[in-house]
């Protein structure tokens, strides 16, 4: 499948499984009359494969060591991308950042790293399913920076175009997306 055919097919899956109209309160606290819930797409066999493939294609020239982000949205994306990167002989390891460190066990904020493994000095992309203002991804970005990692990019599947680009520009991090919300609002 060509990249444009894959992008068109993924658009259909997101539109059918993950996009809708109706009043909703977003993670940012804002109200909206449309929403994206990408979990049904990320958990769909073809949707997961296409998300990983298109994200891998978008990131493969960025010389990355790790991909990760804030739970829950980043977890399936980072895992699928790590697996695909291994199959393509260009491994990018995955991790995720807890919204709140566990109150038992190792009490880690960053999960998925083996004992002795760190993000120190590593090039990292933060991934997110849907981005509105960027607040959720900033939490992951801050945790990675605290761990000594270098966030080189925030990459989202759908940018709602409601301030995230400005948020990441202020944070000094590049921001890109697979889709813009406006693409789904046209039809």
Q: Is 130 annotated as a binding residue?
A: yes
Q: Among residues 89, 26, 92, which one has the least CA distance to residue 55?
A: 92
Instruction: Confirm whether residue 2 is marked as ligand binding.
Output: no
- Tell me whether residue 167 is annotated as binding: no
Q: Is 129 annotated as a binding residue?
A: yes
The CA distance from 56 to 81, in Å, is 6
Q: Is 7 annotated as a binding residue?
A: no
Tell whether 136 is in a known binding site.
yes
**104: annotated binding-site residue?**
yes
* Residue 160 assigned to a binding site: yes
Tell whether residue 134 is among the known ligand binding residues.
yes
Residue 132 marked as a ligand binder: yes
Torsion sign (Cα): 37, 38, 43, 44: positive
| Residue 102 annotated as part of some ligand binding site | yes
Q: Is 133 annotated as a binding residue?
A: yes
Annotated binding site for 5-phospho-alpha-D-ribose 1-diphosphate: 98-99, 102, 104, 128-136
Residues forming the annotated binding site for orotate?
Answer: 132, 160
Annotated binding site: 98-99, 102, 104, 128-136, 160
């Amino acid at each position: 499948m060509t990249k444009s055919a894959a992008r068109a097919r993924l658009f259909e899956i997101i539109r059918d499984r993950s996009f809708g109209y109706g009043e909703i309160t977003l993670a940012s606290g804002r109200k909206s009359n449309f929403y994206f819930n990408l979990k049904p797409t990320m958990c769909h066999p073809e949707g997961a494969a296409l998300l990983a493939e298109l994200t891998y294609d978008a990131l493969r020239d960025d010389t990355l060591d790790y991909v990760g982000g804030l739970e829950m949205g980043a977890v399936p994306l980072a895992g699928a991308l790590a697996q695909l990167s291994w199959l393509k002989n260009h491994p990018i390891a995955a991790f995720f950042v807890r919204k709140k460190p566990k109150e038992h066990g190792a009490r880690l904020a960053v999960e998925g790293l083996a004992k002795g493994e760190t993000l120190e000095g590593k090039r990292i992309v933060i991934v997110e399913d849907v981005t509105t203002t960027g607040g959720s991804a900033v939490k992951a970005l801050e945790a990675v920076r605290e761990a000594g990692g270098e966030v080189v990019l925030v990459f989202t599947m759908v940018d709602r175009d409601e301030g995230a680009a400005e948020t990441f520009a202020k944070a000094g991090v590049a921001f890109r997306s697979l889709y813009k919300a406006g693409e789904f609002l046209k039809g």
